[in-house]
């Protein structure tokens, strides 16, 4: 059976990523100049998922402008946040999402991989087990409270910090029979659904291979660390790197070699690099970059040292760490 529809959870407030998320939803933050959510969904896109649906709440217009050109499918606006589980009610009510099984993915998950075999294996486990939900975990990340515990039959046994527990990567398969256990209100995925005795017996865990790596990007420090790591992988692996393959998966092949080469050369990784190709006027700025007084910034946010609100004309403002700038006006 082919499972070719996915629902992307994009409605969060991005609280840990302020002040950047005052101006841009976290899934749309630019990672090597394309929205981060394209890396989250890269494996599914390569696997053959054709329809991506998503929910929104915080800055829905900004989110739509950034990612709608890629997904081209239905968005579900939440006037009030429905939390990690309540958003699933959109799947029950949508006429476009009447399939028996779906992929569900956190929009800010950063999942790198060597190939998509692990998705085939997850589907096989899900279907053969007749699971309501199949969670995908990895042993490549130290687990905390969200460590997935499971038995020899891959059946979910709860959350703990055991050494054998897996880190949940924010990706799972869902059988629409689960809607029998869901009420139309806000609720938490694990606490209010998956840990219920009548549900937990029908939840399974897939242990992804070592080449499937989840990286933390939920705050500015970890986001920059992940970007530096992927820049090194890009330099070493080039066309086999995750960044390169993600660009190709989303049809961004034009001048790809030249553009990605610029990411490795900080002398060119600055304010005017490929301006016409940058979504939402985002710019990546390298270490020790000076912003010339001729640059006018409007409604902008930056990493560390300074937050630019409203309008400001800089006079050689210098930053010590890599920054992201969102600018709506340049002169």
Neighbours of 180 (CB within 10 A): 9
The predicted structure's pLDDT at residue 308: 42
Distances, alpha carbon 158 to alpha carbons 17, 57, 69, 152, 204, in Å? 29, 30, 38, 14, 10
Q: Is 218 helix (H, G, I), strand (E, B) or coil?
A: coil
The C-alpha torsion from 77 through 167 and 40 to 184, rounded to 10°, is -20
Q: Is CATH 3.90.550.10 the classification given to domain 5-215?
A: yes
Q: How far apart are CA 248 and CA 254, in angstroms?
A: 9
Token pair in block for residue 331:
């002169």
The predicted structure's pLDDT at residue 140: 64
Domain extents in the chain: 5-215, 265-331
Per-residue pLDDT tens digits of the chain, which is 331 residues long: 789 889 888 887 777 777 667 777 888 887 877 888 899 899 999 999 988 888 878 778 878 887 878 887 777 777 877 777 777 878 777 777 778 899 999 888 889 998 899 999 999 999 999 999 999 998 865 545 568 988 999 999 988 877 678 888 999 999 989 988 888 888 788 888 889 999 999 999 999 998 898 888 877 778 878 887 888 888 888 888 898 899 989 888 777 777 666 666 544 333 333 233 334 444 444 444 444 444 444 444 444 344 444 344 444 444 433 344 444 333 3
Tell me if 105 sits within 8 A of 8, measured CB to CB: yes
Q: Could you identify the residue written with the tokens 């897939």?
A: 206
Residues in CB range of 234: below 8 A, 6 or more apart = 241, 243, 244, 260, 263, 264
């Amino acid at each position: 059976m082919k499972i070719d529809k996915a629902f992307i959870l994009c409605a969060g407030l991005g609280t840990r990523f302020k002040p950047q998320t005052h101006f841009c939803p976290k899934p749309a933050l630019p990672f090597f100049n394309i929205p981060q959510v394209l890396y989250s969904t890269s494996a599914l896109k390569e696997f053959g998922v054709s329809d991506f649906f998503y929910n929104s709440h915080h800055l829905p217009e900004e989110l739509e402008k950034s990612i709608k050109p890629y997904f081209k499918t239905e968005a579900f606006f939440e006037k009030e946040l429905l939390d990690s589980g309540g958003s699933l009610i959109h799947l029950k009510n949508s006429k476009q999402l009447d399939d028996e099984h779906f992929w569900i993915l956190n929009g800010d998950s950063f999942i790198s991989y060597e190939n998509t075999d692990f998705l085939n294996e997850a589907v096989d486990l899900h279907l053969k087990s007749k699971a309501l939900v199949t969670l995908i975990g990895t042993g490549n990340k130290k687990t905390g409270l969200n460590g997935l515990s499971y038995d020899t039959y891959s059946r979910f046994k709860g959350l703990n910090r055991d050494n054998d527990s897996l880190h949940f990567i924010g990706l799972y398969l869902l059988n629409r029979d689960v809607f029998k256990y869901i009420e139309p209100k806000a609720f938490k995925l694990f606490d209010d659904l998956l840990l219920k005795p009548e549900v937990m017996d029908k939840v399974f865990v897939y242990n992804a291979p070592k080449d499937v790596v989840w990286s933390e990007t939920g705050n500015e420090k970890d986001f920059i660390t992940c970007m530096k790591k992927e820049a090194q992988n890009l330099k070493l692996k080039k066309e086999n790197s995750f960044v390169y393959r993600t660009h190709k998966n989303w049809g961004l092949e034009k001048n790809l070699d030249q553009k990605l080469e610029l990411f490795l050369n900080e002398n060119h990784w600055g304010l005017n690099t490929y301006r016409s190709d940058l979504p939402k006027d985002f710019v990546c700025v390298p270490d020790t970059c000076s912003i010339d007084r001729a640059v006018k910034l409007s409604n902008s946010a930056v990493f560390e040292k300074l937050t630019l609100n409203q309008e400001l004309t800089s006079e050689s403002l210098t930053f010590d760490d890599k920054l992201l700038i969102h600018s709506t006006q340049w002169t």
